[in-house]
Chains A and B, each alone.
Chain A
Amino acid sequence: MNGRGISARRGQFHLAIDAFDAGTNGTALLGRNGAGKSTLLLVLQGLIAYDGVVDRPKRCAGVFAQPAVLRGSVLWNVAAIARAVIGLDERIARKRAKMVLSRVALGDVLDLDARRLSSGQRQRLALARALAIEPQALFLDEPFANVDADGRPALRQLVGDYLAESRCTLVLATQNLIDVTTLCKKAMVLENGRPVQTLDTSDIDTSKNQYLQALIAESSVAR
C-alpha cells in the first residue's frame, strides 16, 4: 500500500508526509510521543479526514493502543467480527474464533465478558480479532505494550507467521526495539508530524538520529 501528499490536522498538530510506501516486509513507525505515529496510522486506515491519496487494500485490520471491545463474551467478540466482515456462518466463525483465541492464550477465558478483561488481555483479544478476518493490511499501534513480558514473543511469532503465510502488509507504531527488529524490514522516523528518516531496520544501530540512539541505548541498558 502507499500514500502520496498526505496532510492531516488534529488541533494544533499537523501531519505532512509526501510519500509513504509499505510492502509485505513490515514498516515500523518510530518517534517520540506526539510525533504523529498514531495519526499516520489513522490516516492510512482512513479513520480521520485527510488531504492526499492513500491506496489501501480492501480488507484491513487495525489494533489500537487501547482496544475497545463489544458487550458479550470473548469468543463472541471475535466470532461476531468474523461473521460481519467475511460473512462466515455462525458455526465456522466460532470455530475460527476459538482457534485464534487459543493462539493468543485466551483459550481459558472464552466465556468471560470481554469488558472485564485486563488491558493486556484486551490487546490479545484485539490481535485475535484482527487476525480472524485475515486482513491484507495490518495496522498495529503499540500492540504489545500492556502484554506480559513472557507473552510477547509468542504474539510476535503469531504476527510474523501470519505475515509470512499471507503476504499481508504490516504498519507498526511502537516504542519497542524488539518489535521493530523482529517484524519490520523498513522504518520511518517521525518528528513533529514530518518524516525525518526512512531506513532499513538493520541500519538502525548506525543511525545518527537522536531518538533512535536513545531507543538503542535503552534496550542495551536493559541487558
Chain B
Amino acid sequence: MFEIAARSVGVSLAATLVAACFALPGALWIVYGRSRQRIVLLGVFNVGLGLPPVAVGLAVAFTFWRSGPLGWLDLLYTPVAMVVAQTLVITPLMGTLAVVALRAVDPSLNDQLAALTVPARSRLRLLAREAIPGLLAAALAGFGRAIAEVGAAQMTGGNIEGQTRVLTTATMLEVSRGRFGAAFADVAVLLGIVAIVAGGMLVLQARWR
C-alpha cells in the first residue's frame, strides 16, 4: 500500500513539475509577450482544459505503442509514460490558472520595471514572484488533477502491480474484484495525501500573502 501511495505521489509530483516548466513560461508569454500568436497558445490551453484524460491517455499510449512513432523507446506501461500523459492533462489547467494569476498583478509594474531598465529575464522573474500565491494555487490544482485522475494512468501505465499501480487504478481494480474494504482504504489514503498537500499549500500561501 505504501509503495502504491508513494508511486501516486511521485508520478503526480513529477508531472506537476514538468507541466510547470511549460505552463509558467507559456503563461508569462501570453500575458507579457508582444507576438500575436500568443492567442493561439491561450486557445490551446483553454481547449486543453476540457480534454478528457482518457483521450490523452489513448493518444500517449498509441504514440508509445510498439508499432507507434515512439515505440522504440519501450516506454509504454512505465511510470515515464504516465508522467507524460498526466503532464499533457494538467499543463493546460496550470497554464490557464497561471495566466489568471499573472493578469491579477498590477499592470503598471511591468512598465515600472521596464522604466528602470530591468533586463527582460529579471523582469519576468520579479513579475512571476508577484503572482506567487496564484501560481501556487495553479500548481496545487495541477497536482490534484494528476493524482485524482484514473483514465490516463490506466491507459499508459496499465496498472501493473509493483510497477505502475497507483491509488486510483488500484481502487478501480479492488472494486471490480468486489474487495470494497481495500478500495475504501485506497481512497482514504488518496484523500489523506490531498489534505496534506493542501495544508502545506496553506502554509506557503500564508507566507506569501
> Does A106 count as interface, using CB distance less than 8 angstroms?
no
Measured between beta carbons, the chain B residues less than 8 angstroms from A139 are 115
In the assembly, what is the distance between CA of A46 and CA of B117, in Å?
10
Those of B107-128 within 8 Å (CB) of chain A:
108-109, 111-119, 122-123, 126
Indicate whether B66 reaches chain A with its CB closer than 8 angstroms. no
Inter-chain contact total with CB atoms closer than 8 Å: 57
Is the CB of B106 closer than 8 A to any CB of chain A?
yes
> With contacts A130-B116, A133-B117 known, is A47 near B129, CB below 8 A?
no
B interface footprint on A140-173 (CB within 8 Å = 1, 0 otherwise): 0000000000000000000000000000000000
B174 at the A/B interface (Cβ < 8 Å)?
no
Residues 40-96 (chain A) with a chain B CB within 8 angstroms: 42, 45-47, 58-62, 64, 66-68, 70-71, 80-81, 84-85
Verify if A98 is at the interface (C-beta below 8 Å from B).
Answer: no
Q: Is A37 an interface residue (CB 8 A)?
A: no
Query: Which of B109, B115, B117, B119 makes the CB contact (< 8 A) with A70?
Result: B109
Residues 77 to 132 of chain B near chain A (Cβ within 8 Å): 106, 108-109, 111-119, 122-123, 126, 129-130, 132
Closest chain B CB from A193 CB (angstroms): 20
CB-CB under 8 A for A80 and B126, given A68-B108, A68-B109 = yes
Contacts of A64 in B (CB 8 A): 108, 111-112, 115
Instruction: Identify which of residues 130-170 in chain B touch chain A, using a CB-to-CB cut-off of 8 Å.
Output: 130, 132
Check if A45 sits within 8 Å of B108, measured CB to CB: no
Among B111, B116, B123, B129, the residue within 8 A (CB) of A129 is B116
- Among A45, A58, A80, A84, the residue within 8 A (CB) of B115 is A45
* A71 engages B130 (CB within 8 Å): yes
Bound-state Cα–Cα, A185 to B129, Å: 41
Q: How far is the CB of A10 from chain B (nearest CB, A)?
A: 13
Assuming the contacts A70-B126, A71-B129, asked whether A61 and B116 have C-beta atoms less than 8 A apart, the reply is yes
Identify which of B114, B117, B119 gathers the most chain A CB atoms within 10 Å of its CB.
Answer: B117
Once bound together, how far apart are the Cα atoms of A85 and B114, in whole Å? 10
Query: Are A66 and B117 in contact, CB atoms less than 8 angstroms apart?
Result: no
Docked-complex contact A84 and B118, CB < 8 angstroms: yes
Interface centre among A64, A67, A70, A133, by most chain B C-beta atoms within 10 angstroms, is A70
For A70, list chain B residues within 8 Å (CB): 109, 126, 129-130
Residue of A nearest to B115 (CB): A62
Q: Assess the B117–A58 pair: CB atoms within 8 A.
A: yes
- Digit string of B22-48 for contact with A (CB within 8 Å is 1, else 0)? 000000000000000000000000000
Residue in A45, A59, A68 with the greatest tally of chain B CB atoms within 10 Å? A68
| Minimum distance in angstroms from B199 CB to a CB of chain A | 23
Q: Across the interface, do B115 and A59 meet the contact criterion of CB distance under 8 Å?
A: no
Given known A47-B111, A68-B108, A68-B112, contact A60–B117 (CB-CB < 8 A): yes
> Complex: how many Å from CA A67 to CA B194?
41
Contact A84 B109, CB 8 Å, known A70-B126, A71-B129, A71-B130: no
6 further A-B pairs in the complex, CB-CB below 8 A; given A84-B118, A135-B117, A139-B115:
A62-B115, A62-B116, A67-B112, A70-B126, A81-B118, A84-B122
Interface residues of B (CB under 8 A from A): 106, 108-109, 111-119, 122-123, 126, 129-130, 132, 208
- List 25 A-B pairs, Cβ < 8 Å: A45-B114, A45-B115, A46-B114, A60-B117, A62-B115, A62-B116, A64-B108, A64-B111, A64-B112, A64-B115, A66-B108, A68-B106, A68-B108, A68-B112, A70-B130, A71-B129, A71-B132, A81-B113, A81-B116, A84-B118, A84-B122, A85-B118, A133-B116, A135-B117, A139-B115
